[in-house]
């Protein structure tokens, strides 16, 4: 499953932050500069307080980002001492008061996580599956889109990161972000209108493939133990039948485990209307159609029919790209809430 699931890429990148910049003479570390740049980024206009600011998040300048988060990871969390049996520890002479070695990061990292449509062109349908190379192409396309829509903000943030000095273009940023990419195993998804068809595992078939040669191996061994050198009617050596059946059992068991793991790693299919343009269009239609229903209560049939035709012509529900709700706003009634 990893990065791709339900037609979305769950992007995770970690960019190492430079150490203290002694040349600037400001005494402000690059880590602190990243924190300042992130603090100055406007959030989306999704609350009365943020609507009052009137400046939308730069991540809302494209129609691929469902959710995104950027933060500084200074170090990892200490989870406490490793549990151990006190009797064994005492026998080994381990003093529980002595501190254990603690894992620490060698530098702080800028973490960027995003749930994005797994497409390379706006408006493309969401894919059911992608190869590793195709997933890399999707990540690169998204990185280029980010650079084209919020390059200045990215420059302010990432200039404090190691290896960013040569990044000047959208392609440079795509290559840089790919170096920082970390495969995730924790995607999440909440758009399903109906539960998808999960990747079922034929456990009966797999168990049968393993248990049949295993049973032959056990039976051959028992016959050999009780003095029968050859299988009845077949005439095969019980010893070599046991050896061959045992080897087959181990090989089939390993293949069955590998098959089960691959089956569990298959991405789930995208849900209906799961891409961001469809989600925004759904919100737009929900609001405009609610107004239409309220405005035409008790209308005469002919008037209602004409008005509904006007509604379809004006709002074009079949066109998910326009008119629609602008990304990052709480409703179409917000300032700039409609994209035409």
Residue pLDDT, tens place only, 34-44:
999 999 999 99
Q: What share of the chain is helix, strand, coil (3-state, %, to 5)?
A: 45, 10, 45
Residue-level pLDDT at 335: 81
pLDDT of 192 over the 90 cut: no
Strand 4-5 with 8-16, pairing: antiparallel
Cα 3 to Cα 190: distance, rounded to the nearest angstrom: 16
* pLDDT tens digit sequence for 136-185: 999 999 999 999 999 999 999 999 999 999 999 999 999 999 999 999 87
Burial 72-81 (b: 16+ CB within 10 A, else e): eeeeeeeeee
pLDDT of 22 over the 70 cut: no
Nearest residue to 273 via CA among 125, 142, 141 = 125
Residue-level pLDDT at 327: 93
Share of the chain above pLDDT 70, in %: 98
**Whether the Cβ atoms of residue 11 and residue 111 lie closer than 8 Å to each other:** no
Higher pLDDT, 25 or 233: 233
Residue-level pLDDT at 24: 59
Higher pLDDT, 238 or 200: 238
**Secondary structure (DSSP) of 96-136:** TTSPPP----SS-EEEEEEEEES-SSTTPPPPS---HHHHH
**Which residue has 């008790």 as its token pair?**
298
Lowest mean pLDDT among 104-108, 191-195, 277-281: 191-195
pLDDT of 26 over the 90 cut: no
């Amino acid at each position: 499953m990893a990065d791709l699931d339900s037609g979305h890429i769950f992007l995770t990148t970690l960019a190492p932050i430079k150490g203290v910049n002694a040349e600037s003479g400001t005494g402000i570390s690059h880590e602190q500069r990243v924190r300042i740049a992130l603090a100055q980024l406007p959030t989306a206009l999704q609350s009365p307080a943020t609507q009052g600011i009137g400046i939308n998040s730069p991540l809302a300048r494209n129609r691929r980002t469902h959710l995104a988060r950027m933060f500084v990871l200074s170090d990892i969390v200490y989870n406490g001492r490793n549990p151990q049996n006190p009797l064994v520890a005492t026998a080994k002479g381990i003093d529980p008061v002595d501190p254990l070695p603690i894992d620490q990061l060698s530098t702080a990292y800028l973490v960027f996580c995003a749930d994005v449509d797994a497409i390379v062109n706006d408006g493309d349908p969401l894919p059911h599956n992608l190869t590793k190379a195709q997933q890399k192409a999707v990540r690169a396309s998204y990185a280029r889109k980010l650079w084209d829509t919020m390059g200045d903000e990215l420059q302010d943030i990432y200039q404090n990161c190691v290896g960013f000095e040569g990044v000047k273009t959208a392609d440079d940023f795509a290559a840089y972000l790919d170096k920082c990419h970390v495969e995730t195993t924790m995607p999440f998804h909440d758009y399903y209108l109906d539960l998808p068809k999960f990747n079922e595992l034929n456990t009966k078939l797999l168990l049968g493939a393993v248990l049949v040669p295993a049973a032959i191996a056990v039976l051959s061994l028992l016959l050999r133990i009780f003095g029968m050198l050859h299988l009845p009617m077949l005439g095969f050596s019980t010893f070599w039948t046991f050896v061959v059946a045992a080897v087959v059992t181990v090989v089939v068991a390993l293949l069955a485990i590998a098959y089960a793991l691959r089956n569990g790693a298959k991405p789930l299919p995208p849900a209906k209307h799961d891409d961001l343009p469809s989600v925004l269009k759904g919100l737009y239609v929900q609001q405009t159609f609610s107004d239409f229903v309220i405005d035409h209560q008790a209308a005469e049939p002919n008037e209602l029919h004409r008005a509904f035709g006007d509604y379809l012509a004006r709002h074009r529900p079949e066109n998910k790209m326009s008119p629609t709700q602008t990304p990052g706003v709480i409703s179409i009634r917000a300032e700039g809430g409609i994209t035409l």
